[in-house]
């Protein structure tokens, strides 16, 4: 996925200036940044996208000569050049209109910078851990038998991998109560999540929310699974039903592509925020 992203970067005309640009008043055309960004479109008002490094080592995004700001009016700054390049690529990829619902990296950055719900690191960890006992891969169906067999064949290897990788016990269950996970295993996951910085943790919690699974999310972040495979495993029952009963082609395909896009963006966000120096080198060299 990272290599695919670097290929996208190489095709986009994103200039990178390390000089600190002067602070200029935002023009009226930027007033829309105070609005929610999730589902609106706006006419594109800029031609060039660049990044610049400012005091403190953080990076800014410039649209022509205007500094990008968050919906709450804060200066849009990110902790690494690699993440700045990725965000700038999102803005540079927009054509006649700015489609904010396609700009998942920008949205994640805004979430960290504005923190509209006042989520501390502990709250992020707690929210992520809630998915452990309701993890998608832990709940099994006894009927129909074909689905039960599919879940066993596809999910058991992932459970085996994560139990060995993190030295934990998770298991699976046919009960609506789910498996009984030892406290030691919960503590292990809590300590692991605490090792991420707030930026990376925000991205990881976003991925977990998309897949409804800590197991699949960590396998994805650890590069044990591809985005496509992780998404497929998170929708295993739906895939089984479609195989046997058919689907509404455009609707299911759209949902699948949207989920893949959000999951890929969240995964990339985690990597760019937790491995900034390594990823930056790859982005600039590839």
pLDDT digits (tens, 9 = 90+) for 43-85: 999 999 999 999 889 999 999 999 999 999 999 999 999 999 9
Domain limits, the chain: 2-32+45-98, 121-246
Q: Which residues of 235-269 are buried (b: 16+ CB within 10 A; e: fewer)?
A: bbeebbeeeeeeeeeeeeeeebeebbbbbbbbbbb
- Helix 81-92 vs helix 276-285: crossing angle, to nearest 10: 50
Which is more confident, 280 or 123?
A: 123
The token pair at 271 is: 């990597």
Contact between 109 and 60 (Cβ < 8 Å): no
How long a stretch of residues is the chain?
286
CA distance 60 to 42: 21
Q: What is the pLDDT of residue 13?
A: 33
Fold for the domain defined by 121-246: ATP12-like fold (1.10.3580)
Of the pLDDT bands very low, low, confident and very high (cuts 50, 70, 90), residue 23 is very low
Burial class from Cβ neighbours inside 10 Å (0-12, 13-18, 19+) for residue 184 reads exposed
pTM of the predicted model, to two decimals?
Answer: 0.81
Of the pLDDT bands very low, low, confident and very high (cuts 50, 70, 90), residue 188 is very high
How do 77-78 and 97-99 pair as beta strands? unpaired
Specify the CATH number for 2-32+45-98; select among 3.30.2180.10, 3.30.70.270, 2.40.160.20, 3.40.50.1820. Answer: 3.30.2180.10
CA distance 257 to 255: 6
Q: Provide the β-strand partners of residue 21.
A: none
């Amino acid at each position: 996925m990272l290599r695919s992203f670097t290929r996208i970067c190489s095709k986009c005309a994103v200039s990178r200036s390390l000089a600190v640009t002067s602070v200029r008043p935002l023009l009226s055309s930027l007033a829309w940044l105070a609005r929610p960004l999730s589902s609106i479109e706006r006419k594109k008002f800029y031609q060039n996208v660049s990044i610049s490094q400012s005091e403190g080592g953080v990076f800014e995004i410039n649209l022509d000569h205007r500094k990008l700001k968050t919906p709450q009016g804060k200066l849009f700054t990110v902790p690494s050049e690699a993440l700045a390049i990725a965000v700038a690529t999102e803005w540079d990829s927009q054509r006649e209109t700015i489609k904010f619902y396609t700009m998942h990296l920008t949205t994640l950055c805004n979430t960290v910078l504005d923190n509209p719900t006042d989520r501390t690191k502990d709250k992020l960890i707690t929210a992520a851990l809630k998915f452990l006992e309701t993890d998608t891969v832990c709940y099994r169906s006894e009927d129909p038998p074909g689905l039960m067999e599919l879940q066993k064949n596809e999910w058991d290897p992932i459970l085996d991998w994560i139990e060995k990788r993190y030295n934990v016990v998770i298991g699976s269950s046919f009960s609506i109560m789910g498996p009984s996970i030892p406290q030691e295993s919960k503590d292990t996951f809590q300590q692991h999540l605490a090792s991420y910085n707030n930026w990376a943790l925000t991205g990881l919690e976003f991925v977990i929310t998309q897949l409804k699974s800590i197991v699949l999310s960590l396998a994805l972040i650890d590069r044990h699974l591809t985005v496509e495979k992780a998404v497929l495993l998170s929708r295993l029952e739906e895939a089984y039903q479609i195989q046997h009963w058919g689907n509404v082609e455009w609707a299911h395909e759209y949902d699948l592509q949207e989920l893949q896009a959000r999951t890929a963006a969240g995964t990339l966000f985690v990597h760019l925020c937790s491995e900034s120096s390594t990823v930056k080198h790859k982005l600039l060299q590839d």
